């Protein structure tokens, strides 16, 4: 059994429109303080969506600031990256550096609204005014040298400014909240702040609860203690979990041992239960070990190319039982008595250090990609078939004409994903047996005699003058129960370029015309197939349609590790 119907069913449920937001926290700069640019944010957002075992659910990003790092009030490039990758946004306005800095946040927020319009505002799920500002001015925060914060009156003023700035704009009506530690919310001196919010964002890390029993066995209870106290203080306002996580490496804090095995336990207990209970969750974090390893490190992925390195622990969420792939030293010792946790010993610059870094993709974008091996040459299939026409109307399509090889690709075409590549930013299945129905599962690619899938790629401006290669990867056969690739009947695929790129609402009857670009007669496990090579149309969105060829019946979740599905590599 490789991919159970239970998994498919729950994946479908989780990807419905009402599912809670699941995302990571994204800092504005790298560890060396150099700013993250659009390509860096895009790389991170795409990597999050392609995490093995998560069914593409991690599609949201929490930001800490609206301002591009090292500028006065230029809009942060994460906004354009979110638009390009269809990533939803929990915006952050930095509120701990005084009024002048906050004014710059407001300036950038307004600039983003007028520059990007609804392409931006439709992605926004919330706006957080501040981050842990109230924690920083407490005796604990001051003792930990947490840096300047903001008092309740300052925050009230900033919240009012934010509401005024979005009034009458595309962001009007978006929930305005604040992020802080649970200790800030149970402190009655901060009640007026809660009263001014639409949602309450809580950061909770059992690892840092050093004055109480804080072993991994107590972590779930400790987390929920903090969460429930926040829910009580919120007096009916929604509580979002804006940061939580368990370190994969670093020093022991009281009883808390940092390890990937313990991070898996925390994920299974806390993250999976929050997902199941439909709580908005922004995990800390996707990857924090770039240009050095922070200590502690909370990254799901280790140092290295974010798209290539594998998660350090299993990210699947079993419905009830533990997955067989759980590290065998998982001991979820539960039910020990837990005292109310308090924040202590939280290192002063922890956030400043930790909010930073991911892969420096400007390097990989400017370098050439010559990583193909000789094995991949032999996997080349058919390409370039400009003469085959494929019906695109509501007429029932049986199987497209069987293409014949016309061309063998030049030897320097990169097939694998070790160099620069693009993943699709939108995947839309269409059903010819229900031509007017929006199939509506953007994560599950489906190919059969009636189902086809549309893929949109955003071609970066940097690809100007280069060659874009459409490649289709089939992962090796796997015994893992969460294997997200399910072939019912083997066969091939037929790919054509859409006259008009797809939208989320495209159906078999509205898809419009397309012209064939290539095909693969038989998809082989563990192989990468070249579909086509053509000059990159840099700066545009290009849509493709994949149809089953022959008897193919296939469903899969697109991911990069192992490479699975349709990608675009680039060569000079």
Ligand X SMILES: *[C@@H]1O[C@H](CO)[C@@H](O)[C@H](O)[C@H]1NC(C)=O
Name the residues that contact ligand X, by CB under 6 A. Answer: 30, 32, 34, 134, 137-139, 151-152, 187, 189-190, 220-221, 224, 269, 273, 334, 360, 362-363, 366
Smallest distance, Å, CB 352 to ligand X? 16
Nearer to ligand X, 35 or 490 (CB): 35
The answer to whether 562 and 475 are in contact (CB under 8 A) is: yes
Contacts with 498 (C-beta within 8 Å, 6 or more apart), sequence order:
454, 511, 512, 513, 514, 542, 543, 544, 545
Contacts with 164 (C-beta within 8 Å, 6 or more apart), sequence order:
none
Smallest distance, Å, CB 277 to ligand X? 9
Burial readout 335-370 (b: 16 or more C-beta within 10 A, e: otherwise)? eeebeebbbeebbeebbebbbbbbbbbbebbeeebe
Task: Examine the residue annotation and report whether 480 is marked as an active-site residue of this protein.
Answer: no
Structural element, H or E, at residue 456:
strand 451-458
Contacts with 508 (C-beta within 8 Å, 6 or more apart), sequence order:
394, 430, 431, 432, 434, 435, 436, 452
Q: Which residue in the block uniquely carries the two structure tokens 């990468």?
A: 528
Residue 98 main-chain phi, psi, to 5 deg: 90, 170
- d(CA 474, CA 521) in angstroms, rounded, equals 13
Catalytic option among 42, 243, 268, 527: 243
Smallest distance, Å, CB 100 to ligand X? 22
Nearer to ligand X, 224 or 457 (CB): 224
Smallest distance, Å, CB 155 to ligand X? 9
Task: Examine the residue annotation and report whether 243 is marked as an active-site residue of this protein.
Answer: yes
Nearer to ligand X, 225 or 527 (CB): 225
Distance of CA 95 to the CA centre of its chain: 26
Going by their DSSP bridges, the two strands 485-489 and 541-549 should be labelled as: unpaired
Instruction: Report how far apart, in Å, the C-alpha atoms of 449 and of each of 176, 364, 398, 472 are.
Output: 47, 39, 6, 19
Nearer to ligand X, 87 or 218 (CB): 218
- d(CA 79, CA 41) in angstroms, rounded, equals 9
Smallest distance, Å, CB 34 to ligand X? 4
Nearer to ligand X, 101 or 364 (CB): 364
Smallest distance, Å, CB 183 to ligand X? 6
Q: Can you tell me whether residue 195 is helix, strand or coil?
A: helix
Paired with 520 in beta bridges are 493
Smallest distance, Å, CB 105 to ligand X? 21
Smallest distance, Å, CB 356 to ligand X? 10
* Sign of CA pseudo-dihedral 484, 487, 491, 493: negative
Nearer to ligand X, 164 or 192 (CB): 192
Nearer to ligand X, 273 or 394 (CB): 273
Catalytic option among 77, 105, 132, 527: 132
- d(CA 148, CA 205) in angstroms, rounded, equals 21
Of 58, 530, 2, the C-alpha closest to 274 is: 58
Nearer to ligand X, 190 or 446 (CB): 190
Task: Write out the catalytic residue numbers.
Answer: 132, 243
């Amino acid at each position: 059994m490789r991919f159970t119907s239970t998994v498919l069913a729950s994946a479908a449920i989780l990807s419905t429109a009402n599912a809670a937001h699941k995302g990571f926290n994204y800092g504005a700069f790298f560890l060396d303080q150099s700013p993250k640019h659009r390509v860096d944010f895009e790389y991170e957002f795409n990597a999050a969506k392609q995490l093995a075992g998560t069914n593409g659910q991690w599609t949201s990003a929490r930001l800490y600031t609206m301002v591009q790092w090292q500028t006065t009030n230029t809009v942060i490039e994460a906004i354009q990256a979110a638009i390009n990758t269809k990533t939803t946004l929990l915006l952050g306005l930095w509120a701990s550096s005084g009024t002048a800095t906050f004014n710059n946040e407001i300036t950038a927020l307004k600039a983003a609204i007028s520059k990007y319009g609804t392409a931006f505002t439709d992605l926004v799920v919330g706006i957080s005014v501040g981050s842990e500002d109230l924690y920083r001015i407490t005796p604990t925060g001051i003792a930990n040298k947490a840096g300047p914060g903001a008092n309740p009156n300052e925050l009230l003023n900033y919240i009012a400014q934010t509401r005024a700035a979005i009034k009458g704009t595309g962001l009007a009506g978006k929930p305005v909240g604040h992020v802080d530690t649970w200790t800030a919310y149970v402190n009655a001196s901060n009640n007026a702040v809660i009263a001014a919010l639409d949602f309450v964002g809580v950061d909770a890390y059992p690892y840092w609860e050093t004055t109480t029993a804080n072993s991994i066995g107590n972590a779930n209870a400790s987390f929920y203690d903090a969460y429930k106290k926040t829910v009580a203080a919120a007096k009916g306002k929604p509580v979002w979990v804006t940061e939580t996580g368990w370190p994969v490496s670093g020093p022991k804090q009281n009883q808390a041992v940092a390890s990937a095995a313990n991070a898996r336990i925390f994920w299974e207990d806390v993250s999976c239960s929050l997902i199941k209970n439909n709580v908005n969750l922004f995990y800390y974090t996707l990857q924090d070990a770039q240009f050095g390893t922070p200590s502690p490190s909370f990254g799901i992925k280790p140092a290295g190319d974010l798209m290539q390195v594998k998660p350090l622990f299993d990210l699947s969420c079993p419905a009830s039982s533990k997955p067989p792939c759980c590290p065998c030293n998982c001991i979820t010792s539960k039910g020990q008595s837990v005292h109310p946790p308090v924040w202590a010993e939280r290192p002063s610059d922890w956030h400043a250090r930790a909010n930073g870094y991911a892969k420096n993709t400007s390097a990989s974008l400017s370098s050439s990609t010559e990583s193909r091996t000789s094995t991949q040459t032999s996997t080349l299939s058919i390409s370039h078939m400009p003469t085959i026409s494929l019906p695109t109307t509501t007429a029932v399509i049986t199987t497209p004409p069987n293409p014949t090889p016309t061309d063998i690709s030049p030897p320097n075409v990169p097939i694998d994903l070790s160099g620069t590549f693009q993943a699709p930013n939108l995947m839309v299945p269409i059903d010819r047996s229900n031509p007017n129905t929006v199939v509506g599962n953007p994560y599950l690619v489906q190919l059969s005699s009636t189902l086809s899938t549309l893929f949109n790629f955003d071609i970066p401006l940097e690809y100007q003058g280069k060659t874009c290669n459409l490649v289709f990867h089939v992962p090796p056969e796997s015994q893992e129960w969460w294997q997200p690739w399910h072939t019912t009947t083997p066969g091939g695929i037929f790919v054509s370029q859409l006259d008009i790129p797809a939208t989320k609402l495209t159906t078999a009857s509205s898809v419009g015309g397309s012209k064939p670009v290539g095909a693969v007669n038989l998809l082989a496990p563990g192989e990468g197939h070249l579909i086509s090579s053509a000059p990159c149309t840099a700066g545009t969105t290009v849509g493709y349609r994949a149809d089953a060829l022959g008897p193919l019946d296939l469903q899969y979740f697109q991911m990069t590790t192992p490479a699975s599905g349709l990608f675009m590599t680039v060569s000079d």
